[in-house]
Structure 1
Amino acid sequence: MRILQVAHGFPPDQMAGAEVYTWAVSRELARLGHDVHVFVPGVRPNHPNLARVEERVDGLPVTRLNLLPGSPHRLEITYWNPTVDRCFAEYLRDLRPEVIHVQHTLGLSAGVFQVAREAGIPTLFTLHDFWYHCPRGQRITPRNHLCEQVEPWRCALCVGTWRAVWFRKWGTNYVRGRTAETRGEGVATRALKLPLRTLKYIADEAWRAPILHRNELLLDAMLKADRILAPSRFLMERFVEQGVPAERLHFSEYGMDDAPFRAAPPRPVRDPAARPVRFGFVGTLMPTKGPDLLVEAFQSLPHEGATLELFGAGTGPKTEGYIEGMKRSNRHPGVHFRGRFDNKRIAEILAGLDVLVVPSRWWENAPLTIHESVMARMPVVVSDHGGMRELAERFGNALGFRPNDPADLARVLRRFLDEPGLWAQLAPKRPVRSVHDDVVGLIEHYRALVGPR
């Protein structure tokens, strides 16, 4: 079967959860004899804008649609891009896949669902985060406050749409007396009413309207997929709240490539009295992932009793100051920032740790790092909410702490120093789903959508 995977990134350029999952699924599909292709956005300065850059990653044919930076930022271009839609339609005519599996459309265009439908190609869609009803994707504000409810005016404040063209256009027309409420009014009348009308316009048009338009359009776009999967029930519930019919969503647990862990030596039984206890963080160093909470919590742990290894890097210039701030605030000699790592080394990295910590401020969905802790047969400490709580209950190898609370995190970490019996209690209660079993399930979905051959 010729299968096209569509995503917002792919290794080695991007190595976050959804990208790594797409990579693993694509490799397994190819191993089983399917003709797998990958279509993602990319930036290749040595190629023309909108060129298709053909590459090979682990033997997989990867097409990166070259989207060079430099175009004016508009909210719409982050989710709907007719130019990308035209390029994708041309690509489909050339490739002629039998089925399309959309993993994400950030950086491309949600119009790909309609393009696929017009081409007569069935589409499976996997949800990985909240982006289809949250412009930031994580339902958390820049000040790290969770959004319990999606309210367009709050979204507008969050992404700054008050700077958008809607307000500039309205302001120009208002001054010239061309808006509906100002036609026939004199300059003095318009000036007296300007403050109230400005606030109303900002609230109703410049802020709320673009977000409402975005979320309604994305909901309509994703419902054009023939089948929708979600790897956590928590994520499914959030999308039902936003208007996705519950019967359209199918739970499908992430499958993991456990080959590196099976090839590694078995984890030895740990002596509870052994010191130091080696804690670790593996992931992107950014505020929503909460590594600063972990560094702060670690300051109260005994210097001789614990170490902390942080594996990962930031997302660019915006996170450099954040990372430097963590380093400056640290006074614990056992804290080490190890920098960027090759995901192929994950089994080796976890073998050198005793406890993994996932302190995310946002809800997460179904973090791959928690799955990896199960494969490494090690305990994990997680923020007690969202998808992390769901996985903690599923696998049984986790302790939770109050989200965004470094003091409570320190309390939980200290338990590994003070409670010898804790280690045995946190042995994983069930294995993760293998990527092979996941792909077998995906193939069943593909065949059901394609129909008799």
Structure 2
Amino acid sequence: MKILQYIPGMPPVMVGGMIKYALDLAQEEKEAGHEIVLLVPGKFTHLHKETSKIVKRKWKSIDCYRIINSVPVSGGKGMQNVSALRMRGDKALFIKFLFKENPSIIHVHSFMGLPIAFFEAAAELRIPIVYTTHDYYGICPKAILLNDMEQCMTTDGSQCPYCIDGVMTIKKIKWQQSPIYGMLKKNPIINFLEYSQKLVPIKIYIRSMHKKYEKQRHRSESILAKIQEEQEYLEIQRYYKEMFGYVTRFHYNSIQAKEIFTQYMGNISGEVISISNKNISDRRKKRALGKKLRIGFIGRGAYKGFDLLKETLQSLFEEGLQDFECHVYFNPKEKLPPYIISHKPYKEDEMDRIYDGIDILVLPSVWKETYGLVVLEALSYGIPVIVSQSVGAKELLAGCNGMGVIVKPTKEALYEALKNVYCNRDLLERMNLKICNCDLRLNYEEHVHDMINMYEKTIILKK
């Protein structure tokens, strides 16, 4: 089988669970004997800005094609020129490319950076398309379906101009897709400056000035301009709805993802297959606990529940429950209290050390997270978890009671769960034992096999 995987970017420019999942899947499918082709957005050229082309590159012995002058990758941010997101693209270019490559199936991981002409070309050549629901991009420009930290129920785009964070220029987006930007992302000096706690006060000042500018800009915008922007987002919603119409079969990575997608899009064909990656394997063991409770938080942003966790830990500390430390793996935007220790995002070969350094993982997401792979990661090490009801991976806990705690995404609920664990450390020991004895799917090859089966069923469906 020849599989074309579309990914909205490559490391080091784009990182995160979606990118890792897609690249791991591509590598494993190749090792299983399938022919793999990658397609990603490429750079923007100064000359011939309106002309797109596809150039061939390599990534770890896999053909990796880049679309030059494609749709800007917004990354869930606002844009000054929103209409650039619905550029239709060159259908003839994609027909020529797909006819030459002749994939058996196309696996799309996001609409970001991909014009609708690609889907029109695939439909004309009768190539089936599988779409993985990593997030809600296409339904929501922010990809998280949150408006002021509450689930957004508006689907016509009318609230998007007032909800979406920040406004990026096309020039900035093009810069972030340039080869030079990719080189800078790998630079150790840039990395040091990005994660240095000593620079946090300067960063806070810069962000406050930016927010002040944004407020002034919003006030200065006329009512007519807002109405025009609302209309643009309405057109964006129609554009993505048309793109979703070309998907042959949806790969839902959780039951929750299926519920949300069908809620917004009606009865669409799909299958629930929980995700994994090549680094997840069975490393469960009986874990020793020290005097200090070590809490782990892996993620970034308020929508992942960090602000909620920070407020909860402050309440515990003020109550006198101070024998704990919380390790977070992202670049914080503010000065942190001494019991919260920030680290750079970890690399694959550091996972053993990271998970050996925590007693419990907390993921109090506020958004309706389609999965939450770090939950499976923690369980694979025998580490108990506290997750909010908004995390798709909560179904792992529902399948085997006693491996962790599911709470409402509120400070009160999280406080009670953490206080209970803090005051009853034997609870962690019982959870650890339960995890070690539960039947968990920790074999990555099984997941790849499930995806190949889904491809085969989708190909038959298209005939």
Q: TM-score band (shorter)?
A: 0.7 to 0.9
Is the aligned partner of 1:350 residue 2:355? yes
Which residue in 2 is equivalent to 1:226? Answer: 248
Q: 2:291 aligned to 271, 275, 298, which one?
A: 275
Q: How far apart are the structure 1 equivalents of 2:404 and 2:84? A: 40
Q: How far apart are the structure 1 equivalents of 2:150 and 2:447? A: 34
Deviations 1:60-84 (A, max 9, x none): 3322334597998432332x33336
Which residue in 2 is equivalent to 1:8? Answer: 8
Which residue in 1 is equivalent to 2:132? Answer: 126
Compute the TM-score of the two structures, normalised by the length of structure 1. 0.76
For 1:228-307, what aligned pairs fall within 5 Å after superposition? Answer: 228-246=250-268, 248-258=269-279, 261-262=281-282, 267-271=285-289, 274-283=290-299, 285-299=300-314, 300-301=316-317, 305-307=323-325
Q: How far apart are the structure 1 equivalents of 2:243 and 2:63? A: 27
Which residue in 1 is equivalent to 2:36? Answer: 36
| Contact 2:372 2:393 (8 Å CA) reproduced | yes
Q: 1:416 aligned to 410, 416, 421, which one?
A: 421
Is the aligned partner of 1:113 residue 2:119? yes
CA change 1:46–1:63 in 2 (3 A) is farther
Shift of 1:403: 1.5
Is the aligned partner of 1:309 residue 2:330? no
CA change 1:312–1:45 in 2 (3 A) is farther
CA change 1:369–1:161 in 2 (3 A) is closer
Shift of 1:414: 2.3
Is the aligned partner of 1:82 residue 2:56? no
CA change 1:305–1:48 in 2 (3 A) is farther
Compute the TM-score of the two structures, normalised by the length of structure 2. 0.74
Q: How far apart are the structure 1 equivalents of 2:112 and 2:159? A: 21
Q: How far apart are the structure 2 equivalents of 1:34 and 1:70? A: 29
SS at match of 2:341: strand
Which residue in 2 is equivalent to 1:437? Answer: 446
| Contact 2:91 2:118 (8 Å CA) reproduced | yes
Which residue in 2 is equivalent to 1:398? Answer: 404
Which residue in 2 is equivalent to 1:187? Answer: none
Q: 2:232 aligned to 210, 224, 227, which one?
A: 210
Deviations 1:35-82 (A, max 9, x none): 11111124488999756454444443322334597998432332x333
CA change 1:83–1:242 in 2 (3 A) is same
Deviations 1:378-407 (A, max 9, x none): 1111222252544442454232333152x5
Q: How far apart are the structure 1 equivalents of 2:326 and 2:55? A: 40
CA change 1:43–1:337 in 2 (3 A) is farther
Q: How far apart are the structure 1 equivalents of 2:295 and 2:92? A: 49
Q: How far apart are the structure 1 equivalents of 2:279 and 2:144? A: 28
Q: How far apart are the structure 1 equivalents of 2:57 and 2:235? A: 36
**Which segment drifts farther, 437-446 or 426-435?**
426-435
Letter in 1 for 2:32: L
Provide the aligned C-alpha RMSD in A. 3.5
CA change 1:392–1:24 in 2 (3 A) is same
Letter in 2 for 1:255: S
Shift of 1:305: 1.7
Give unmatched runs, 5+ long, in structure 2. 168-221
SS at match of 2:158: helix
CA change 1:291–1:386 in 2 (3 A) is closer
Deviations 1:315-357 (A, max 9, x none): xxxxxxxx232xx2x33x3321112322443343222211111
| Contact 1:256 1:432 (8 Å CA) reproduced | no
Shift of 1:122: 1.9
Which residue in 2 is equivalent to 1:448? Answer: 457
CA change 1:304–1:145 in 2 (3 A) is closer
SS at match of 2:386: strand
| Contact 2:89 2:116 (8 Å CA) reproduced | no
SS at match of 1:324: coil
SS at match of 1:117: helix
Shift of 1:32: 0.4
Letter in 1 for 2:232: P
Letter in 2 for 1:64: R
Is the aligned partner of 1:96 residue 2:102? yes
Letter in 1 for 2:155: V
Which residue in 2 is equivalent to 1:19? Answer: 19
Which residue in 1 is equivalent to 2:210? Answer: none
Letter in 1 for 2:440: P
| Contact 1:10 1:19 (8 Å CA) reproduced | yes
Shift of 1:116: 0.9
Q: How far apart are the structure 1 equivalents of 2:242 and 2:106? A: 18
CA change 1:377–1:127 in 2 (3 A) is same
SS at match of 1:382: strand
Q: 2:66 aligned to 30, 43, 64, which one?
A: 64
| Contact 1:85 1:109 (8 Å CA) reproduced | no
CA change 1:286–1:161 in 2 (3 A) is closer
Stretches (4+) displaced over 6 A: 44-49, 68-72
Shift of 1:277: 1.5
| Contact 1:374 1:432 (8 Å CA) reproduced | no
Which structure: larger Rg? 1
CA change 1:157–1:121 in 2 (3 A) is same
Q: How far apart are the structure 2 equivalents of 1:9 and 1:70? A: 8
| Contact 1:371 1:432 (8 Å CA) reproduced | no
SS at match of 2:327: strand
| Contact 2:42 2:68 (8 Å CA) reproduced | yes
